[in-house]
Structure 1
Amino acid sequence: MMSKFVDFNCGVVLPASGTGERMGMCTPKQFCTVLDRPLIVFTISTFHRLPWIKFIIVTVSESCKDMMLQLVTDYNLHKVTVVAGSPTRHRSIYNGIKAVAGVCSAPDVVLIHDAVRIFGEEDLIRDIALAAHKHGASGVTRPLISTVIASDSDGMLTESLDRSQYAASEMPQGFKYHVIKQAYEKSTDFDFDYGTECLLLAKKRRWCESCIVAGKPYLWKVTHKKDLHAAEAMLKEQFLHVAILPTAGQDVLVDTLERQLCTALRSEQVKVTSEIITQSHSEHANTFIHIHSSLPSNRSALNPATHPCGDRLLFDHCHIHVFMLEPTQVSDQHHQLSVHFKQLAIQLKGQHFMVYAVLAQTTESCEAVSAMVKHLVIHRSTALSGQVFLV
């Protein structure tokens, strides 16, 4: 049985030089935004959070190089090296392979992945790396959804393949460093200009057999504009975790809010807790709902930056403060809170925090207050950060 421990130097090459013509947008699809982040940031985070991934090389076109370097700075992507790409996929990957020796003194395995395949579980990535280390090359597949057919020049059916005998090649793929390096060194101009399948290149140019690993349904890539909406929904389903921090006397509101959120999210994504967990584990909360029965005497406590709560690479951490006040207090405090939260949002700019306030009267229904908070949780608009909402 193969060990599940990665005890060798492993890194990633991400070709990201494409123009994304099928997306039909001016922006290359890897830089299209979802949840206020370019897609490529989510893809990089898939590997960046794994301690056994030693380096990530991203190949981009010259026109996007400065943009990519700025993302490296903005999100503290210390494992990432940015190099120039090329017009074709294989040439871009080869540029990344040639850069490997400069960032890792003794690379063993290189994983190749698509910049717009934003999902990946550690177990699968590890299986690909281990299989590549053992066999020389490895890849992941998914069953074909549709039957593949061929037609002649007159548009008439000529062949229909047996779907059970074929599979769709997905990413990531893994290679021993010397295998993929030598495969590219022996490649022809035809390979570079028209090839797309790295496993086939390794087989043709290095006679290296590839171990195939069965993949999972999330192994899809963003191709069309509509896929951006699917990506956002899947990211929220996988990574959005909410902590409700209650206060004495607001049990009905807490119960109502928990119930409403659990109808919109999975129940395991919502927790009622007494404290902010500060570790960076992916299942720890990134959205915090603070329930207040009175105004805090020290308003600096409302600043989320005072809570160094975890990794903000995947999601801006969202803090929603709900103030349940007596009717006579609401009008008096609205302006002051609006000024405070607006200044707070300006202060937090660039730190990957969002902050909102919901100001409600104690006579207001818990259903209405919870509906407002749920909307803020689900839609997570950075443009609205710093706003105070009256219910």
Structure 2
Amino acid sequence: METMKGIIQRYQHKRISLVEAGVTRHRSIFNGLKALAEDQPNCRLSKPEVVIIHDAVRPFVEEDVLLKVVTAAQEHGASGAIRPLVSTVISPSADSCLDHSLERARYRASEMPQAFLFDVIYEAYQQCSDYDLEFGTECLHLALKYSHIKAKLVEGSPDLWKVTYKRDLYAAESIIKERISQKVCVVMDTKEDEEHVGHCLEEMLKTELNHVKVTSGQDLQQIILEQCYNFVCVNVMTSDFEETQRLLNMVEESNLSILYPVVVISVHFLDYESVPLGQKMEKVMQIREFAKEAKKRNILLSGLLIYFPQVENNRGLEEQKLRESLRQGTTIISALIKERNSGLIGQLLVA
């Protein structure tokens, strides 16, 4: 209970009530239902029309699946998500030989979430035998057995698999990385010259990252509220970190990085013109200090230096080399966002 209270406080979850678990799955669910039932002493919660039962080990349930099972439960009394079987189910004999197998096409795997009219599932649990409470695993079966309700079955998404073994944690991490890498916000400290190399980089990102939504950061506050976890901060007008620092402050104030790490890539251009190379490199190398502080707030900050070539008397070659640099920069940005590797925090990468 103390661990759960710590999680709720750390991640700032709202409207959550904790209930002591039972020694088995069904006893835990029954305890939760009793906390919602108005006929129990010291009941502090309101009895809902529909209750959803879900497993923490299936963390990737989509909102539309929840809506489907709730809607079906309102109409039929009970509903649950199902998935096709990926392996044939067989029954072994006492001597470990094949007894019989099931025709896979006729059967489905029962998944979570499941939804019920509250009175239906609560009545079923009130009538449960001790054997059911100790050894049962299927809530839909209890609704059928004790409340005589045939559940409506809803096709679930492929992501409803259970995180069961240690290797599943790596698969779950991969899914999370993929989901939070689908949107990139480009923040730029100038809007005047649409042909500037910074805008060329933005267009390159939109072209190369065709599976990612690339947006401009005119309204940073709104983009942060929409839970964008990836920012490319293009420093055009200055080699300092003013724009990057402003972005870091906004991300910190929003508490966006509480749940998932936010990737911030501070992009600078090396054009050999206004600032000598040594002086510019010295300023850009300050990124390590910024990154150390950002890491404390779960923000993964790294730097990208894009070579902006000047080829005298050959504009075609100059543009070709620039596009090569921008393409390399886009590849680096994509890798930083997809991998979210904390080992690259504070590094200055060069394209």
Scaled by the length of structure 2, the TM-score of the pair is 0.79
Which residue in the other structure is 2:40 paired with? none
**Amino acid in structure 2 at the alignment position of 1:166:** Y
How does 1:241-390 map onto structure 2 within 5 Å?
Answer: 241-246=183-188, 248-260=196-208, 262=209, 267-279=210-222, 285-293=228-236, 294-296=238-240, 298=242, 301-306=245-250, 315-325=260-270, 326=272, 327-346=277-296, 349=297, 352-363=298-309, 365-382=325-342, 385=345, 387-390=346-349
Instruction: Give the match for residue 166 of structure 1.
Output: 107
The offset of 1:99, in angstroms, is: 1.7
Q: Deviations over 1:306-336 (max 9, x none)?
A: 2566855653332221122442333321454
Contact 2:248 2:294 in 1 (8 A): no
Any idea what SS the aligned residue of 2:91 has? strand
Between 1:89-98 and 1:275-284, the stretch displaced more is 275-284
Do the aligned partners of residues 376 and 314 (structure 1) sit closer, same or farther apart at CA in structure 2, a change above 3 Å counting?
same
Unaligned runs of 5+ in 1: 1-64
How many Å apart are 1:199 and its aligned residue? 0.7
Aligned partner of residue 77 in structure 1, secondary structure = coil
> 2:308 is matched by which residue type in structure 1?
T
How many pairs does the alignment contain? 317
How far does the alpha carbon of each residue in 1:266-306 deviate from its partner, in whole angstroms, 9 at most, with x for none? Answer: x2423142424434799753211011132348468434232
Q: Give me the identity figure in percent.
A: 33
The 1:236–1:345 alpha-carbon spacing in structure 2 relative to 1, beyond 3 Å, is: closer
The C-alpha deviation readout for 1:215-255, integer Å capped at 9, x for no partner, is: 23222121222222222232233342112235533344334
- Residues of 2 paired with 1:291 and 1:275: CA distance? 13
1:105 Cα deviation after fit = 1.8
Verify the 8 A CA contact 2:78 2:152 in the aligned structure 1.
yes
Give 1:66 shift.
1.9
- Report 1:34-183 matches (<5 A): 65-101=1-37, 102-183=43-124
**SS of corresponding position for 1:106:** coil
362-371 vs 231-240, which moves further: 362-371
Distance 1:123 1:322, change over 3 A: same
Question: Separation in 2 of the partners of 1:316 and 1:343?
Answer: 14
Taking a change above 3 Å as real, the CA distance of residues 187 and 151 of structure 1, as seen in their structure-2 partners, is same
Find 2:141's aligned residue among 187, 200, 206.
200
* Structure 2 CA distance for aligned equivalents of residues 121 and 282 of structure 1: 20
In the TM superposition, residue 196 of structure 1 has moved relative to its aligned partner by 0.2
Change (3 A) 1:67 1:178: same
Structure with more helix by fraction: 2
* Equivalent residue number for residue 191 of structure 1: 132
Query: Would the alpha carbon gap of residues 276 and 237 (structure 1) be closer, same or farther in structure 2, given more than 3 Å must change?
Result: farther
Relative to structure 1, the CA distance from residue 95 to residue 384 in structure 2 (aligned partners, 3 Å threshold; closer, same or farther) is farther
3-state secondary structure, aligned to 1:84 = coil
Instruction: Assess if the C-alpha contact under 8 Å between 1:144 and 1:166 holds in 2.
Output: yes
Change (3 A) 1:223 1:281: farther
Distance 1:300 1:160, change over 3 A: closer
Helix, strand or coil: the match of 1:213? strand
Contact 1:148 1:161 in 2 (8 A): yes
Q: Could you say what secondary structure the match of 2:337 adopts?
A: helix
Shift of 1:158: 1.6
1:331 partner amino acid: M
Task: Write out per-residue CA displacement over residues 132-157 of structure 1, whole angstroms, 9 at most, x where no aligned residue.
Answer: 12222111211222222212112222
Q: 1:379 to 1:268 in 2, by over 3 A?
A: closer
